[in-house]
Amino acid sequence: MLPFVLVGGVPVLAGEDRGQLVGLSVPDVLVAPFDLDEIVGSDSVDPAAVFWGAEMRMARPMRQAAAGRRAGRFQPRGDRFEPLPEGEVSGFPSTTLLAHRAEVPSVDVVRLSSLFAVSTVRTPIDKAEASFLCFTKLYDARQRRELPTVDEIKQCFRGLQNTKSRMFSEVAAYAPVIHDAIGRGLKDRDLRRYLVRETPLPTGLGVAKMSFTLALLGHDCICLDTRLMVRMFGDKALKIEAGWGKDGDHVSELSLSRYEAVEDAFLEGNPFYNPKDPIGKARAQWSAWEGVGGKAASHWVWLHAIQV
């Protein structure tokens, strides 16, 4: 029998196609390639089934199946997004984002942008802004010369204080990695791919929030958050989102490919998307997100923090 293996937290039936390891996701019946170093565990119906050269450990599947670049296909869903109510003007900060795109932002701007992005993880925007504002006050009190301690950051949260303060601390320390990657000339999806595939990611920063961070820094990426996913997929949204979670401190090729496929489905038919706009994907995401919420979003606490 073929073994079930865990690739980036995704259970797949493993096989071989012309010398390339491939995984068959269940129940999607989608095929995607993977490498030996992406296997993090085995959950086989046949205890004798192994791959030569692969060191495996027994583990239970924790996520729904995800597909690879060649297999992940979704119907166009961009037409499910509509403009803001009459009289509402988008808060999309084109001038700021294009300025960030034109040159490498400082480590400080990168740090504050990534922290604002992760502050929104599974959190209403008002609470996210409050926690971010709390951090910036602590940071400014040190004249931005050193990071607040984990114990100090805890006061910025009402629940899950240990987890969230650790997340803020790790993401803040990771900012130079993003800064250096931008300095190498990487942009947009190529920049995101390098960061999520080739660098050890901190707690709280996966492919979606990395996309939000990079969008704030002027790169053409889409943060597929729950608000957009529910509009596109309804009650299937969480199942689809589960397909691109991190395995340890990396995002697998399977997960990233699945994410990109949903991005494509979001853009196709989207009234906000202009492919000639250098930040058209990010603009479409921002405008669509506002449209679902029914009001403009300036993200003023982030905008104020980076301009001080």
What is the residue extent of each domain of the chain? 4-42, 78-307
pTM (2 decimals)?
0.77
Q: Cis omega (within 30 of 0) on the bond before 3?
A: no
- What 299-302 contacts at long range (C-beta under 8 Å, 24+ apart), as own/partner pairs, is 299/91, 299/93, 299/116, 299/129, 300/129, 301/116, 301/129, 301/132, 301/133, 301/136, 302/112, 302/113, 302/116, 302/132, 302/216
What value does the mean pLDDT of the chain take?
83
Higher pLDDT, 219 or 242: 219
Instruction: Decide if pLDDT at 194 tops 80.
Output: yes
State both tokens at 158: 């009402």
Instruction: Decide if pLDDT at 184 tops 50.
Output: yes
Q: Are 127 and 216 in contact (CB under 8 A)?
A: no
Average pLDDT on 256-282 reads 96
Average pLDDT on 63-91 reads 75
Lowest mean pLDDT among 17-26, 34-43, 279-288, 295-304: 34-43
Question: Which residues, in sequence order, are CB contacts of 114 under 8 Å at separation 6+?
Answer: 171, 172, 174, 175, 178, 205, 209, 213
Which residues on adjacent β-strands are paired with residue 42? 5, 58
CB count within 10 Å of CB 264 equals: 16
Q: CA 173, CA 121: separation in Å to the nearest integer?
A: 18
pLDDT of residue 286: 97
pLDDT of residue 48: 39
Instruction: Decide if pLDDT at 31 tops 70.
Output: no
The residue among 263, 184, 251 whose CA lies nearest residue 221 is: 263
pLDDT of residue 68: 36
Lowest mean pLDDT among 77-91, 149-163, 178-192: 149-163
Higher pLDDT, 20 or 97: 97
Average pLDDT on 275-280 reads 97
Higher pLDDT, 39 or 226: 226
In this prediction, what percent of the chain has a pLDDT beyond 70?
A: 78
Instruction: Decide if pLDDT at 67 tops 90.
Output: no
pLDDT of residue 250: 92
The whole-angstrom distance between residue 266's C-alpha and the CA centroid of its chain comes to: 15
